[in-house]
Amino acid sequence: MRKQTTRRLIWSVAVVLAALLALWMVITLLAGLAQGLQTLAGGWGVFLFLATVAALGWLGWITWRGWRPGGKSPRWAGRFRNPTLPIAFDSKREAAGEHLDSIGRQLELVRDQVMRQVLERERRQVAAELERGDLVVVVFGTGSSGKTSLIRALLGNMVGSVEPAMGSTRTSYSYRLPMAGLGRGVRLVDTPGILESGAQGQRREDMARRRAVQADLLLFVVDGDLRDSELRMAQLLLSLSKRLLLVLNKCDLLGQQQEQRLLQVLRQRCAPRLPAEDVVPVSSAPRPRGAGAPPPAPEVAALLRRLAQVLRLEGDELMADNILLQSRHLSVDTEAVLINQRQRDSRTVIERYAWIGGGIIALTPLPGLDLVGAAAVNAQMVLELGRIHGVKLDRDQGRELALAVGRAMTGLGLVKGGAMLLTTALSAAWPALVVAKALQGVSAAWLTRVAGASLMEYFSHNQDWGDGGMAAAIRKHYDLNRRQAQFNDFLTMAVERIVEPLQRRLNGLPTSSQPHQPPAPASVRSDDPE
């Protein structure tokens, strides 16, 4: 012990001496620096000396904050870092491939064969997109905006006439658009017009929208100021992260000042999501200047330049973004199908356990109504709900979760409040003896419904009760289940499955000659279930 104390004393003295030596060296260095600056700079020497000391201290502080273990960089340090680079083209393709693999595994769980085939077909289409080489440019807009004439002008400038003959587009056509300087081909897609009336018009618009979502680049063609419906459509497409050029067609019908004013209005309405240079004027089919005069050549050079510039600079990224977006949308659609399937399966399980448990308790009543709170949720029901949502629980975990929900319902007063609600509803149509015998069974079925709906929400949100916790989730589903329509449906089934069978077991009890109609639920405030 004495040796250890001596070593600590020697070590402390050595550290102090080293610190004093370092301090003496720093003071000597600063003194020499101050003398040198005074000699070189005269009256400015002191100022330069202080500035140098401040700079050295600042650099030392940065070094200490950046390299000390667990240290955090100052807020402004991010200004000097390299900006985050966008995800590379190959990385996005790889992410899309992973999405498609995940969708394939999800589709194995879909039992609806028709929906499964539809989603599988879409998955194969997106997978084919990963292998394609052409950039897809979709021409989109109303039927009167001149979409087809614009495509004819773009292709005519390059390759002359095209087939099939163009006109009022009823379906979707695709054309190759050769463009110099691009490493990929360009596929130009004509779509049916949007905002047309009638069932046929709605079907064609749906086709056009699907094509728009699948595009790498969109040409949204208008022939004047944006209608509200067109503006909403443009904003929707931009919100999907779709690259879009707004094309103002039929500029030959406008004067130069009117054209510039209209372009300014369009740019203001689409700002800030759409850059000003992406609003481009064209005249795809200019009218002849006089009787018998030949039609002027289309004026689409500005659009071709902007189109080539965008595709040359952003083409690969646009394709990768589009493929990744399509795979994500398909993943969302597949998950929505599975969510609906899980909800149907969960409701079936909840209904089964509600009436099984309610019937058993009605035939063998428990000595205390408060026990219904613990019996309202069956551990086996919890296990089945977990399995439906892909959550593996053992029996102990299922029992603990069931008891936790039951205790929460009892603590909130829902067991007592539900019993009072059901007693009021049943006593209006049934004898007191039947009500007394059936009450625990009907209450158990009712509370199992509430608990099961709460657990279904819990599992569907990745075992999270939400911001309000378990109590808020249970209270919400209690209030939902006592709404008049749901409550009357429950009473009808309760009478059929519990009350009437129980009445038949009670010998000598006269059967009512009139059908039993469930009354409207008693008014119970949501903030006071009792």
Tell me the DSSP string of 379-443: HHHHHHHHHHTT----HHHHHHHHHHHHHHHHHTTHHHHHHHHHHHHHHTTS-HHHHHHHHHHHH
- Core vs surface per residue 319-354: b (16+ CB within 10 A) or e: bbbbbbbbbebbbeebeebbeebbeebbeebbeebb
**Could you give the count of Cα atoms lying within 13 Å of 486 in the half-sphere of its Cβ?**
11
The closest of 446, 448, 421, 442 to 524, measured between CA atoms, is 421
Dist CA 219 CA 303 (whole Å):
10
Cβ atoms of 456 and 349 closer than 8 Å = no
**245-272: b (≥16 Cβ within 10 Å) or e:** bbbbbbbbebeeeebeebbeebbebbee
Count other Cβ atoms within 10 Å, centred on residue 201.
15
Alpha-carbon gap, residue 151 to 66, rounded angstroms: 58
Instruction: Quote the tokens at residue 320.
Output: 């990768």
Strand order in the sheet with 173-176: 173-176, 186-190, 135-141, 217-222, 243-248, 279-281
Q: Is there a contact between 494 and 521 (Cβ–Cβ < 8 Å)?
A: no
Whether the per-residue pLDDT at 37 is higher than 70: the answer is no
The count of residues in the chain is 530
Task: Give the integer Cα–Cα distance in Å for 173 and 361.
Answer: 67
pLDDT > 60? residue 367: no
Q: Where are the domains of the chain?
A: 26-64, 91-285+297-331, 342-505
CB neighbours of 266 closer than 8 A, spacing ≥ 6?
A: 222, 225, 226, 246, 248, 279
Q: Which residue has the higher pLDDT, 387 or 322?
A: 387
Instruction: Give the per-residue pLDDT at 69.
Output: 40
Comparing CA positions, the residue from 429, 446, 443, 444 lying closest to residue 503 is 429
pLDDT for residue 46: 55
How confident is the model over 407-427, as a mean pLDDT? 82
Of residues 245 and 294, more confidence is placed in 245
Structure confidence at residue 347 as a pLDDT band (50, 70, 90): very high
Q: Confidence class of residue 263 from pLDDT cuts 50, 70 and 90?
A: very high
Q: What is the token pair recorded at 387?
A: 């399995």
- The phi-psi region of residue 292 (left if phi > 0; otherwise alpha if psi is between -120 and 50; otherwise beta) is left
Percent of the chain whose predicted confidence (pLDDT) is above 70: 71
Q: What's the pTM?
A: 0.61
Q: How far apart are CA 241 and CA 261, in angstroms?
A: 28
Q: What is the pLDDT of residue 1?
A: 46
Greatest mean pLDDT among 98-112, 129-143, 153-167 lies in 98-112
pLDDT at 65 (0 to 100): 47
Please say if the pLDDT value at position 80 is more than 70.
no
Rounded distance, CA 8 to CA 27, Å? 29
pLDDT band at 433 (very low <50, low <70, confident <90, very high): low
Q: Point out the least confidently predicted range of 118-122, 167-171, 419-423, 495-499.
A: 167-171
Task: Say which CATH architecture domain 91-285+297-331 belongs to.
Answer: 3-Layer(aba) Sandwich (3.40)
Q: What's the token pair of residue 201?
A: 């018009």
Phi first, then psi: give them for residue 225, nearest 5 degrees. Answer: -65, 150
Task: Select from 517, 472, 473, 474 the least CA-distant residue to 499.
Answer: 517
Read off the pLDDT band of 286 (50, 70, 90): confident
SS (H, E, C) 260-309: HHHHHHHHHHHCCCCCHHHEEECECCCCCCCCCCCCCCCECHHHHHHHHH
Q: What is the pLDDT of residue 170?
A: 52
Q: What is the mean pLDDT of the chain?
A: 76
DSSP code of residue 194: B
Nearest 10 degrees: Cα torsion 365, 366, 370, 373: -80
Residues 6 or more apart in contact with residue 254 via CB below 8 angstroms: 262
CA distance 172 to 193: 10
3-state secondary structure of 92: helix
Give me the mean pLDDT over the 208-215 stretch.
76
Residue 277's pLDDT band (cuts 50, 70, 90): very high
Is the model's pLDDT at 141 over the cut of 50? Answer: yes
How far, in whole angstroms, is CA 511 from its chain's centroid? 56
Three-class SS of residue 507?
A: coil
Rounded Cα gap, residues 483 and 414, in angstroms: 15
Distance between the two ends of the chain, CA-based, in angstroms?
72
**Of 291 and 140, the one with more pLDDT:** 140
* CA of residue 282 relative to chain centroid, distance: 37
